[in-house]
Every structure is written in C-alpha cells, then in structure tokens.
Structure 1
Amino acid sequence: MTEFVLNSLGVVFLWFAIENCLRHQTAESLDDASLMPFADDPEVARRVEAATGKRIHAVAPEEPAKGWGNIEI
C-alpha cells in the first residue's frame, strides 16, 4: 500500500512539475521550438517548409573569414 501511495505521489509531482515548466508557453512558441533544428540549414528549411507549410526563420551559416579555412599541417 505504501509503495502505491509513493508511486502515485511521484506521478502527481511529475505532472505538476511539467505543468509548471510549460505554463508560460504558447502554441506558437512550442511550434517555433519544434522547427529550430532546421533553422541553420537553408536547404533543409525550404524542404520542411514545403512539406509542412510552416514558416521557418532560417539563418545561413557563417562563412569562415578569408584565410581561416582548413589548414594542412
């Protein structure tokens, strides 16, 4: 019986902890967060936009400064 009560309290605590963490999130912010992994690759971002119809704010990766490329030693 004690084990059942402790397990139930653990589940309730986990539920309230997750609710507390996600309390201030909106549907739009959660949707933007789910698309973040595609934001650094413009080609993949275009494919995901075409597949889902959702706008991804893609950023082109920085080009290395001149003279800072691969150096063979």
Structure 2
Amino acid sequence: MNLIRLERIWIKKRSIGSIFKIRYKHCWKKLISCVVCMIKKLVNCKLWLLVIQHQKIVNISKMSFHRQFVIFVLNMIN
C-alpha cells in the first residue's frame, strides 16, 4: 500500500519536473531573444549616434564599457 502511494508521489514529482523544464527552456529562449534584441538596439543606437552626433560617439567610445552600458540602459528607460 505504502509502495503504491510513494510511486504515485514520485510520478507526480516527475511530471512537475518535466513541466518546469519546459517552462525553463521557454524562459531561456525568451532571455536569449531579449539579449539579441538589446544588442540590435545597441547597434542601431550606435549607428544613429555615429550619423547624427559624431562628436558624442567619440566621447562615448572614450568612456569605459560599463558607463556606456549604464547610459544606454538609462536612455532605453527614458
């Protein structure tokens, strides 16, 4: 009797695990697509800055990458 009950619990846990894996994979796909989208936006942003504000792109390229990224994120929010 107990063995059958344990087996049922194990099967339930296994199905929950498989559902979690599917959702987790979906999350990873979303995360990757989000990162790709951000990179595309960053490239477009840099090209736009290069064409319209040449002086500013020179100043931005002198900054560290971290500061560039922070500025980019702030611009995205605004």
Shorter-chain TM-score: what band? 0.3 to 0.5
TM-score (norm 2): 0.35
When you count helix as a share of all residues, which structure comes out higher?
2
TM-score (norm 1): 0.37
Question: Highest Rg: 1 or 2?
Answer: 2
Higher relative contact order (CA 8 A, sep 6+): 1
